[in-house]
Structure 1
Amino acid sequence: MSQEEPNAGGLLSKMVRFVRNPTVNWTELDNIEAERESQYSKQMLKEMIERKRRNDFVRKREFDQLRKLRQRGSVASQRTEDPMARPSFFQSSMTSPGERAVTLKKIDEIEAQMSQQWWKNKPTTGMGSTAPMSLPSEPITAPFLSTAPLSTIAAMPATVQPLFTEEAAQAAPGRSSAPAAPPLVPSPAPSPVATVAPPPPAEPEVFVHEPDLEEAAIRFASGDHEGAEAGLKEVLAQHQQDDPQQQFDIWMTLFDLYRATGLREPFEALSLDFAARFSRSAPLWFSLPEQLGAAAAPASTDAVPAVPARSFSWSAPGALTLQSIAALQATLARAAAPWTLNWARLMTIDEAALPALTKLMGQWADQDVQLQFNGVEALASLLQSKTVSGERAQHTDWWHLRMAALRLMGALDEFEMVALDYCVTYEVSPPSWVVPRCSYAGDDGQVSGQAGAAPAPESLLQESQFSPSALLQEPEAPRPRLSGVIEGDAEPLLAPLLALVKPGQPLLIGCEQLVRVDFPAAGSVLNWAAEQQAAGQAVQFINLHRLVAVLFNVIGINEHAWIVPRKN
């Protein structure tokens, strides 16, 4: 009687599984194998990720060793000119040119093999050719020096030797037929190179205003908005028969008046006339008082300094709904950073609000903002309870929200584990990790990111390739600004701006949100600009609306500083 393998779904096989697992319920015996396979595949994915990290670390260490060997050989070639110098390790270990050629060949083979293994499974989109790395057949040409930053060029020696000695280059395979190239010598430059300052920016055009606009500018500076509007309309009627290009500044001055006073209806009516007159679209509407919000200075006779915007603070309710998120988003649009959000009272989140909150956290992560999270434990506990591995009862939006929150916090390791659980649970690819731009700090001590920081390179190849703009770029410094209504003495607002002056550069004062300057304040600006001119410091007031720009010309500030009106 031949023995046959019992059917996997038969009673006998089920009895065998029950004997092997006496503690398992009879109805759950069929699920044991499926659970084991799921655990096995999950463990395999974890081991794959760990193995990839370990291989990347080993490759990085081996490439570092190869670079050290090359640098050591370069130093040895430089010291051969001095007969009394002590031989280096590279020279002492290589007794003949043939041995050095063999070593160079082995290094080439190792690099080519590692390069092929490294990029074997990598996508080639946007990476160009993935040919194995090898030693260049010719020395680096001189135009490559133009991509190096000034500080790097200053640190270079006067003469740069080739990568290997001439004898080794002749003995290396593939180089015997080519003549030996002379050492790469950069063009002589004045010393020290690092002190060379960038060329000064081009001077702006001289602002020449229409004389008929002076009366309207004086009325506006005195707070007579209605009189300024009537005066501008009268000037516009007087120049109605002039060339359209000569009337352009008058129209733009009236547009600036409406935007500075927040009058949208007359602005839109004027836009229709402007489009019919010039056959082009009118300027875009915006309200300076609305942009300033609570920070706008009130129109009073006393000098009121600009009120700094306070940081924003928000506390999550017990049940977070879609309306709560919409209100939060609208409030943040008018709030100044840093933003502090407290999640301590959070108990649940409406499922209809999950996509909106996920999108909002993604926007925060992609912005150069500072975020402070309090009560992070409540938020993390809620999201963790809704994203249990292997349970498909919960909506996938919970998983997306948790991964968006982890990305915002800069928790890469935890993000990968959650993404792995998401992949195992739903058998779909999880969202990929993107380096956040925001600066995050939590009350649990976790700090990550820096606003405006460049993302880390994804590979050693990207680490070795660079561009001049990326290396020469400096972090953006605070920009001098004047905003609101300035009345009385403007000296307290102008004095702190001198701390932001860059040596050899003009002081650019942004006036995009400057609403009005009265006569006493304009007089103090005149005295301050004259002092800066006497001290040799150039000053530019940029993006002024035209009523303030005309006033500065009337007062005489244009004789000591540059007046640059806005273009829109």
Structure 2
Amino acid sequence: MGLFSIFKKTDTTPAPAPSDDDEAARLAANSETERQQQQARQREIARATAMKIDAIESAMTFDIFNEPEPAWGSQRAARPAKPKTAAGPDTQALDDLPTTILLRDDDLPQQAVAAETAPVVEEIAILYANGQGAVAEQLLTASVAEAGGDRTVWWMLFDLYQVSGQRERFDNLSIDYASTFETSPPPWNAPAEPAAASSGWAGLTPTEAFAGVLDPRIDAQLERLRQAAAASPVLRLEFSRVTAVEPAGCALLLDTLRKLQAQQRELILVGADALAALIRDGIAVGRRDDTEAPWLLLLELLQLLNREKEFEETAMDYCVTFEVSPPSFTAPHKVATATARKVSASPDRFMLPPLLEGQLGPLLGQIQHYADQYQTLVFDCSRLARIDYACANQLHASLAQLDKKIEFRDVNHLVTALLRLLGFADIARIYPHNY
């Protein structure tokens, strides 16, 4: 009961009429609330649209891209002969050409800077190269709203968020991207945290590509990996061409993966998600096979892929099936992943370190040694997060003196913009990673 009701008094003083300022504030508040509600509805619609588009594109991708892109310089297996028609007598000849010959320069996965955004893209590239990531982010955020149909600044901002580990902002940008372009946004691929021994490592990357059936015959490949691990802190394993698994092969691969992790080796996995799906298709809850190896390898792959929720669900299924305590999840610290659609790294690709800053120093000697051995120089930039302006100029001057075919593969879009600005396109081909 209120104070006035106790003493039987009422306040008869009329409320003051709202002033113009109060009314304006009330209208502004209502307008802001309506704007926020409308924006929330738009985001929900965009999220639903993105989910539908993902489902459609996943089905299309399975049909179109279910065969991984060939490694650099490799030949694609000839297809079965097709009957010639009057309209296309030379079709079979084109089908039998390797992909690297069939595609012209304009067809390869390059993304040129659009003329209307070139000045701001170049300014952002220089700021980012010189370590001013916060200022670059502000300019990119402002430029996204004015980019129109050009996606360059969007891709640069996606890359900046991934390099700096800003997952929440990346997800918010993904919703806006799906709403603006009515297509799926890029996936989140957090950069691997390199081991202390590999933070500045550069050089040829030991690679093993597994194909066919994962059975005891892979032991020779695994032995090569174990030997390479003694000299190289970074190893690359490709599973995109594996078609079946056997328990004995799973046990061998599981043992090697655990040993490499114990040795603090940084791993780059290609097609690990496809291998996990393949193993999952061959097991069932409650069905005990001859060994637990496929289950344990699946759990190991989910852990390396940092899929904690899937790991926990699979661990419970494993617990029910074998009546044992489920293993616990440990987040990976030295693992990077690549999709099967990316060009596979062959042993002749030279991997650049995550950061090039100041002076190239000994790296120039390594590059020269690499150039002495190969006519085509392919630089793997999948780990390269940033190169500063001085280093980029020094690298350009060094490469310009070589009479070689030069390529930069899997470059993030921030670095791509800087390389184009400094004239790298005149001496090399630049292939940004696909979004």
TM-score using structure 1 length: 0.34
Of the two, which has the highest radius of gyration? 1
TM-score, normalisation: structure 2: 0.43
